[in-house]
Structures are given as C-alpha cells and as structure tokens.
Structure 1
Amino acid sequence: MMVDVSRRDFLKSGVTAAVVSGGSLGAFYFGYEASLEKPVRVGVLGTGDEGSVLIGAINPDYIQVCAIADIRPYSIHRAFHGDWYSEAALKARPGLLAKYGWKTEEEARRHVRVYGDYRELLEAEKGRIEAVIIALPLHLHAPAAIAAMQRGYHVLTEKLMGHTVAQCKEMARVAKLTEKHLATGHQRHYNILYAEAVDTIRRGLLGEIHYIRGQWHRGNLPGNDSWQPPMPEEIKPDDPLAKTLRRQLASWRARLRTAPAKEVELWRKRVAQLEAQLADAVLRDKAEQFGYQHKVIKDHEGRILWNRPAAEELIRWRLWDSTGAGLMAELGSHQLDAASIFIAAAHGGQKQYPLRVVAAAARPIFGADREVESHVVCVIDFPAPGYDPTDPLASQKRISVQYASINGNGFGGYGEIVFGTKGTLILEREQVKHLFLEGGSTSMSAGPAAGPMLDTQATMPQQAAAGEGPTYMEVSRGYKEELEHWAWCIRRNPRARDPEIRPRCHPEVALADAVIALVTNMAARQGRPI
C-alpha cells in the first residue's frame, strides 16, 4: 500500500529510482512484499509464445520454475534458450538459462524437469511443486486449471479465462471448493501507468466519463500473419509456407559460416532455434494423440478449399474455433478489461457489467485457411453513475465503449482513449501518452514500457514508441507484477480464504472479462444485439 506518496506524483518523484534500486517497484506500488523468504515452486504448462513471455517476466525472488510441459520440441527449446529471432523477441523471451544463470541446457535440466503432455506434469509433480502457470491453447485453459486445482496446485492461467462461459464458471467453482488461488493474466491490472489512469479518473480530472474508444490494428496479411507461422514441410507439403523454414535455415547457415567473430554466437543460436522449429515435424503423427483433429474445409459445392492436418490445428491454434476464440479473446479482452477498470473507477471502484453489445465481424482479406474473423467491431454499453433502468431519463445514462480490432493495416497500433466532460486521456501501446484538458491542454507523457513492444500473442517485429515530452522512467507492462503478486498471495494466504489477499484478476473479475469477449463474438456472428 502507498504510504505518504501521492499516486499522481508517483512517476514524477525521485522515490521511483530508490524503489527500483532496492527491490520490486510493483511491490511498493501495489502493496505486497519486495521478496519472499522462499520462492514458490512452479510448473509451466505450455511454453510457446505467451508461455515463454511469462517465463521471461518471472522474478526468481518470487518464483522458482521446477518443471515445464509442452508437446512441441520448438517450445521446449525456447523455454530454455529464449527467442533469438529478433532483439525484441529475446527481450520478451530470454529463456530459463538467462533467467536463472544456468550455463547450459544440461545444467538447467538438473533443476527443471521436462514433460510433454501437461497431464503428465500434474501427476508426477504432486508434492514437489505448489502451483502452475498455464499458457496452453485457449481450449485447454479450463481442463488444465481444473485438473491442477483438484490436485492441490494454485493456478495462474493466461487470458482468456476459458473457452466458454460455462468453463469459466466451473473454474471459479473449483477454485472456491479447493481453496486455491486462480489468477487470470490480464496484466493491465498490474500496469502502473493504467493504475495512474484510474487515479486520474477517480480524482475527477476528466469530469464525467461518457465514452471510451479502443483499437488493436495489426498489419497481418496473407502469407505474413503472426497467427499463421510456417510449419515443417513434413506436416503439410502443399502448405503455401511449407518451404519457408528450410529456405531460412539454408540462408542462416550460410550467414553463420561467413559471420564476423562478434556475430557467430548470435547466428549459432538462431540456427539452433530454427532447427528446433523444424523438429516440430514429429507432430505430424503425434498431434492426434493429444486431441487435435484433421479437418477438410469445403465450399458449398463440396470442393476442397483447405485441408488442415491435426498438427496445423495445434501450431496455428488461434485460427480455429475449436482451439481459440479469435480477436476478442486474444486482443480485445485486454482492452475491454481496461475499459472495465476505467468504468469501475468512475463508479468509485465498483465493478460494472455491460448492458448490451452490438457487433460485426468479417474476414475480408483472408480465405478458408482459418475460421476466426480478421476484423471485429463492437459497441458495448455500460452503466454510468446514476443509471436507473426503471427511469426513462436515467436509463440513458450509459458509457459507450467502441472497440475495433483489424488485420491488414497497422495504422494507429493499439491503445485506448477515455473521453470525459473535462478532459481526454490517451493510452497508447500500454503507456500513458497524453492528458488533454478541455479549454487548453495539459500533456503528460511517459517513456516506453519496460517490456518489449511487440504483440506477445505471437512473434512480431518491435514497434517503436512515439513518445513526446519528458520521460520519467521505464515501467513494466504488468507481467512481472502479476506473477509476483500471485506468488505473494500463495505465500501469505495459502488457503485463499482472506479476500484482502488475492490476485487482482481473481475469478469474479476474469469471468466478467470472458463473458464480454465471448458474448461479443456471439453478437457479431449472429448479427444481432445481445
């Protein structure tokens, strides 16, 4: 808890430098201890794109990774060695060797036990670990979390909480029944700059909040889509990207042979990572063993448009209804979660629930190589202070949230804008950009967040921040703080009985966020308000 330090002056004050040099900034800001006497022993289920980001965000003073599970050889390699495909990727995914100071994978494996199927880890690690981090494909969040809690593990699962509303409710029920902490990874709850935005709203600087606009625009196009990575040719020889990895490997091996001495290690690690990605070819015959399915997509006349092997459903899981839930789950849930936080601030901290959603979705630039839409646009109404559904006038007191997520054009990137009667707050790429007050402008800027500025849902190029004005300090995007606080809650409230010591995105909050995302998908596909 903050003591004698104003939140609105927090980022500007010299106290931040002292806190960062002496321990966890998140601990100081959010009110948990700066370290634990004994780190929580954790297993990581799923070490792909997002799982490796969470490994990179771990503070060893709070968490000791003792086991990992993933059925992809490529994911196991990145878990240990990090992601060397770009500087931004490596900053997000440094790997276990760098995180804990181990010199080789052999040394790391003496500390970290490795499994394929996550269920093997849950059975074998009983009594050895205390909690699990789940970063599996969305359709496995609920089965893995429920199985883990029933076996005595605390859980932090990546967003979205579950694949369906029913699954989310069951996860919440099991968490209560087993007295285990269940956190969901909506990291904006731990982003200090978003907390500053909440403080700005609560202090009334924006006046009455009446409209919020959010977007996440990405330049993904056919043949260059972060959700459709290239696969080993053995999995699908006729895939448009089938030869991409082999060609890249030949090119990188040539670069390694001619690289100057100072670049040899970089290219050696890149070649090793690409070889590990090609090792996913073993999934051609194994994916079905883990529940993934072959599917043939046909047009209305029965002609085959896309032939999807089971391993493609696994590697490109975000594209399919059976394994993912599209843009609203992967991107929109973060920003509508942020909108909910802002609206709660306007209600004195009281969580508000949406009144209705109108949405539209389409797939104008992609073909039959996926089931999820490439564009989603929605408007969601929330109660404003004074809302009364029984009063004709007061029933109109609503806060409208407009959100758009598109592919094919990355202009504007991602962020949120909060409109009030006295001012406008702009948050861009998870950094506070500007506060404009009506009748003139007061501008506040903050520097780029201390995480890599890339789409962590899948490997993407770094996006440079367009900050103006003074830079006070770099601030984490919230991954580190959510993990620290979760571990602290486990240590200080092991039976999850104290409501004052629980993750900020606990089941009630995460369930509400999941409902918004999943109901928006329903409204878009059904073409009617809900």
Structure 2
Amino acid sequence: MTYKQSRRIFLQKTALITGGLFLGSHLPDLRTLAADQGETTEEVKLGLIGSGSRGQYLMDHLNLIPGIEVVAVCDNYQPNLTMGVQKTGGKAEAFTDYRKLLERRDIDGVIIATPLHLHSLMSVDALQAGLHVFCEKAMAKTPRECLDMYKTQLQTGKILLIGHQRMFNPRYLKAFEMINSGQLGDITQIRAYWHRNNDWRRAVPEPGLERKINWRLYWEYSEGLMTELGSHQIQVANFIKKDFPRRVAGTGSINYWHDGREVFDNVNLVYEYPDGSTLIYDSMISNAHYGLEEQVMGPKGTMELETGKMYSENPPPAPGILQLLNNIEHKIFDPLPLGGKSWVPETAREAKGEYIYEVDLEDDGTALEMEGFAQMIRENRHSDILLREAYYGAIAALLGNEAIKKGEMITFPEEYIL
C-alpha cells in the first residue's frame, strides 16, 4: 500500500494518539489533515535549498503529499541541482545562489537540507526574508548559531521547525504518551546507541571536490557522529526527561577509518540530568550488529523506542505459571536437595516484550513531518516546544564533542539556557 493510498487511515490513527497527548497542542492539527478534503487543501509553495542526498529524500516524500508544491530548487553543485529539479518534474526554477531564491514572492517557506555549517546563515536569512523555515537537523554547528536561530524566530514570528522526524513518528508519540503517564515509573536511565558499518564516504569525481562532497568528515563543515546521528537520540531523551543535561563527559577517536578524515568514527558519552539520572550514549561506524536503539528504563519497566516494545519488570504470569505458583503456595513439592544452586546469574532477561503500537508504519516519520510543516504554515502556528527541544538537543550534542576534545567534563553554559 502506498503512502497516498493509506494516508487518510494513517493520519486518522495518528491523530487519535496526538489528540490526547501532552504534546498534542504543540503539533499541527492532524485531524484536519486526516479529513477527506480532496482538492480543497490550501496549497503550500516551498523552495528547497540543498538538493543533495537528504534534500532528494525529502523531495520523494513531498511528492507524495497533496497540497504541497516545490516551485524552486537551489544547489551550488550542478549534479545535485539537476536531480532536484528533475524530482519536481522539471517544473521548479533552478538557483545556484540561495539568496536569489529567497527573493521570490510566491514562496511560503523553504526547506534547508545543506551541510551543517550553513544551517544558521541560511535559516536566519530566510526568516528575515519573511519565510517559514524547515531546517534539517542538527540545528546548527555552534551553540551561538543555535541561539541566533532561536532569537531570529522570536523576532520574526515565522515558523522554524528542525528536522527531528521522531517527533512525528506515531510509534514514538505513543511511547511518549505511555512514559508520561507513568507506565515505567520515574525514568532513572536512558541508554541510546547508533551503530553502522560504513566509511560515510561518497564518490568524488575529482580531488578538488573532496571536502564539498564528503563534508561530513571534516570539522570545518561538520560535527560528525554527534550532530548527524546523536542529536536525534539526545533530543528524544531530553523530551522524555522534560529537561536537558547539565553536564557531559566522554571519549572518542578515530580507531578504524584511518583515511584522512578528521571527525571521530566512534564516540562514547555520559550525560547527566539535574535529577541525577543519565543518558549513556555511544555511536560507531565499524560494526552494525546492534543497529540503533533508545532504551528507556524505570523501576516499572523498560521501553525500546526504535523497535517499539515495552518490557515490564513484573509481567503478569502466564497460565502455566499461575498453576506453578499455586502448587508452591500449597507446598506440594518435595523438599529441595542440599547443595543445589543458591543463586541465579543476573543475565539479561529473555522476555519478548509487548509492542506498543500495532499500526504498520510506512516511514520513520519524515512524511508526516513534511505534511506537518505544511499544515503549520496553513495554520500560521509555530511550535516553540519543538524548537526548544531541537535547540537543547543540538547544543548537548555539540557539548559532547567539546568534552571529548578537551578530555574533561563540560557543564552546560548559562548563556545558552533559554
């Protein structure tokens, strides 16, 4: 079933979650989107700045959603620009200078999917040009740039949404609802990891394009694993904790991909929240066995958000176990022999857990995020909570790199607390 075919049912089921969720009032009205509006949906015209791999991925989703048209595409690398225009059916106007694209008066907003070091510059310029902005994660390359973006949104009143698709993923939304209702108890620890096994490199047609194409590998343009991957999971942890970490310490290195890159190929960090709970985070790109996950733990249970499962600390006994317990209660067993085991190894439990959301998801939340951005534009309603979550998640990721580079515990600077 395609996204178009299942869109209405999918949105209706998702709206049931977000409508009663504590986050619900900060998301666009998914019930409006779920209605069968046909051609009456108000069209939103967007410009795409950055039509590389991520920009093209977003375009693939935008092309599935009624009521959205990408009318302009900008990239300063011709193969990407050509591909981006092609994905609009050749209809979009092509630009190599994003400032020229911002001058178009018929555009409601822009999607920015450029290298990290350009996020703040382009977002601030677009907001000041009177346009709504969706900017890919992480928010920016430095804490100061993150703060500049936040302040510019306040000054202009335009929408600024950062690309954290888990905040639009129904499975995650359901998990947030369950955690917020106390089903795990107080959250005492979160463990998150993202493991891949690839070199992160793209083919380069000529040596002079190395840094332009493989920008993720160099500190001048990138903050490596922490912003490309870690920022997603830190943001999720912060949202669950309803707070942000005040201290971080960690280590990182290049221990496998000795190919001239500058950014770490593995990172390991511990973030501490004000209540003493921690986020333990690691990421690597030389082994993919464990993949990615966020494990949220409390005295009542554990939730794994990526797989969408919950494991109770005290699950209800199966029928056979009930009989066993009854037998024990009535003391019908023979006495235990002397010399038997006096302890049980505390290895990981093998419980299968229970799925928290049974709807078959067609993507990771990106389609709903794109649809949500368009609806926010129609409603002219900015979500400050989503921006704050992105802001604190980005700065925490950046401070993680600082802790690694300095080899010391870093405290969240007062000047960046909103």
TM-score normalised over the length of structure 1:
0.63
Structure 2 matches for 1:191-210, cutoff 5 A? 191-210=169-188
Q: 1:477 to 1:132 in 2, by over 3 A?
A: same
Q: Following the alignment from structure 2 to structure 1, what is the Cα–Cα distance between the partners of residues 204 and 234?
A: 33
Structure 1 partner of 2:53:
49
From 368, 373, 383, the counterpart of 1:486:
373
Q: 1:375 to 1:22 in 2, by over 3 A?
A: closer
Answering whether residue 412 of structure 2 is matched by residue 528 of structure 1, we say no
Q: 1:404 to 1:23 in 2, by over 3 A?
A: closer
Structure 2 matches for 1:11-410, cutoff 5 A? 20-21=8-9, 26=14, 29-30=17-18, 31-32=29-30, 33-34=32-33, 37-58=41-62, 59-80=64-85, 95-96=87-88, 108-109=89-90, 111-123=91-103, 125=104, 127-220=105-198, 225=199, 227-232=200-205, 235-236=206-207, 309=208, 311-344=209-242, 352-367=243-258, 369-384=260-275, 398-410=276-288
Q: Following the alignment from structure 2 to structure 1, what is the Cα–Cα distance between the partners of residues 260 and 12?
A: 44
**Pairwise CA distance, 1:25:** 5.2
Aligned-partner SS, 2:126? helix
Q: 1:163 to 1:190 in 2, by over 3 A?
A: same
Aligned-partner SS, 1:321? coil
> How much identity, in percent, do the aligned residues show?
32
Q: 1:483 to 1:112 in 2, by over 3 A?
A: same
**Pairwise CA distance, 1:66:** 0.6
Aligned-partner SS, 1:383? coil
Q: 1:524 to 1:502 in 2, by over 3 A?
A: same
From 392, 402, 425, the counterpart of 2:303:
425
**Pairwise CA distance, 1:80:** 4.7
Contact 1:182/1:506 (<8 A) preserved: no
**Pairwise CA distance, 1:129:** 0.7
Number of matched residues?
Answer: 354
Structure 2 matches for 1:408-447, cutoff 5 A? 408-428=286-306, 431-432=307-308, 434-440=309-315, 443-445=353-355
Q: Following the alignment from structure 1 to structure 2, what is the Cα–Cα distance between the partners of residues 128 and 420?
A: 50
Q: Following the alignment from structure 2 to structure 1, what is the Cα–Cα distance between the partners of residues 85 and 142?
A: 32
Q: Following the alignment from structure 1 to structure 2, what is the Cα–Cα distance between the partners of residues 23 and 426?
A: 23
Aligned-partner SS, 1:209? coil
Contact 1:358/1:380 (<8 A) preserved: yes
Write the letter of the residue equivalent to 2:374.
A
Aligned-partner SS, 2:148? helix
Cα deviation, 1:151-201, whole Å, max 9, x if unaligned, reads: 111100000111111111111111111121111001111111111111221
The worse-fitting range, judged by mean Cα deviation, of 478-487 and 141-150 is 478-487
Q: 1:197 to 1:371 in 2, by over 3 A?
A: same
Write the letter of the residue equivalent to 1:418.
V
Write the letter of the residue equivalent to 1:153.
L
Q: 1:26 to 1:49 in 2, by over 3 A?
A: farther
* RMSD, aligned CA: 2.2
Q: Following the alignment from structure 2 to structure 1, what is the Cα–Cα distance between the partners of residues 65 and 237?
A: 32
**Pairwise CA distance, 1:343:** 1.3
Contact 1:186/1:505 (<8 A) preserved: no
**Pairwise CA distance, 1:446:** 7.0
Q: Following the alignment from structure 1 to structure 2, what is the Cα–Cα distance between the partners of residues 201 and 151?
A: 40
Structure 2 partner of 1:304:
none
Q: 1:202 to 1:313 in 2, by over 3 A?
A: same
Q: Following the alignment from structure 1 to structure 2, what is the Cα–Cα distance between the partners of residues 19 and 147?
A: 34
Q: Following the alignment from structure 1 to structure 2, what is the Cα–Cα distance between the partners of residues 164 and 23?
A: 36
Q: Following the alignment from structure 1 to structure 2, what is the Cα–Cα distance between the partners of residues 528 and 70?
A: 39
The worse-fitting range, judged by mean Cα deviation, of 25-34 and 162-171 is 25-34
Write the letter of the residue equivalent to 1:114.
A
Contact 1:19/1:28 (<8 A) preserved: no
What are the ranges of 5 or more consecutive residues in structure 1 without an aligned counterpart?
1-16, 82-94, 97-107, 237-308, 345-351, 385-397, 448-470, 494-500
Write the letter of the residue equivalent to 1:479.
T
Q: Following the alignment from structure 1 to structure 2, what is the Cα–Cα distance between the partners of residues 523 and 137?
A: 23
Cα deviation, 1:192-214, whole Å, max 9, x if unaligned, reads: 11111112212222122111101
Contact 1:446/1:473 (<8 A) preserved: no
Structure 1 partner of 2:360:
473
Write the letter of the residue equivalent to 2:262.
E
Q: Following the alignment from structure 1 to structure 2, what is the Cα–Cα distance between the partners of residues 22 and 191?
A: 11
Structure 1 partner of 2:328:
none
**Pairwise CA distance, 1:149:** 1.1
Contact 2:268/2:283 (<8 A) preserved: yes
**Pairwise CA distance, 1:113:** 0.8
Q: 1:486 to 1:19 in 2, by over 3 A?
A: closer
Q: 1:182 to 1:373 in 2, by over 3 A?
A: same
Q: 1:218 to 1:188 in 2, by over 3 A?
A: same
Contact 2:238/2:389 (<8 A) preserved: no
Q: 1:20 to 1:76 in 2, by over 3 A?
A: same
Q: 1:42 to 1:29 in 2, by over 3 A?
A: farther
Contact 2:239/2:389 (<8 A) preserved: no
Cα deviation, 1:198-232, whole Å, max 9, x if unaligned, reads: 12212222122111101001112xxxx2x211111
Contact 1:27/1:481 (<8 A) preserved: no
Q: 1:142 to 1:324 in 2, by over 3 A?
A: same
Contact 1:486/1:502 (<8 A) preserved: no
Cα deviation, 1:393-423, whole Å, max 9, x if unaligned, reads: xxxxx21110000111111001111111011
Structure 2 partner of 1:88:
none
Q: Following the alignment from structure 1 to structure 2, what is the Cα–Cα distance between the partners of residues 524 and 180?
A: 36
TM-score normalised over the length of structure 2:
0.79
Q: Following the alignment from structure 1 to structure 2, what is the Cα–Cα distance between the partners of residues 138 and 413?
A: 24
Q: Following the alignment from structure 1 to structure 2, what is the Cα–Cα distance between the partners of residues 363 and 426?
A: 29
Write the letter of the residue equivalent to 2:77.
R
Cα deviation, 1:217-275, whole Å, max 9, x if unaligned, reads: 1112xxxx2x211111xx22xxxxxxxxxxxxxxxxxxxxxxxxxxxxxxxxxxxxxxx
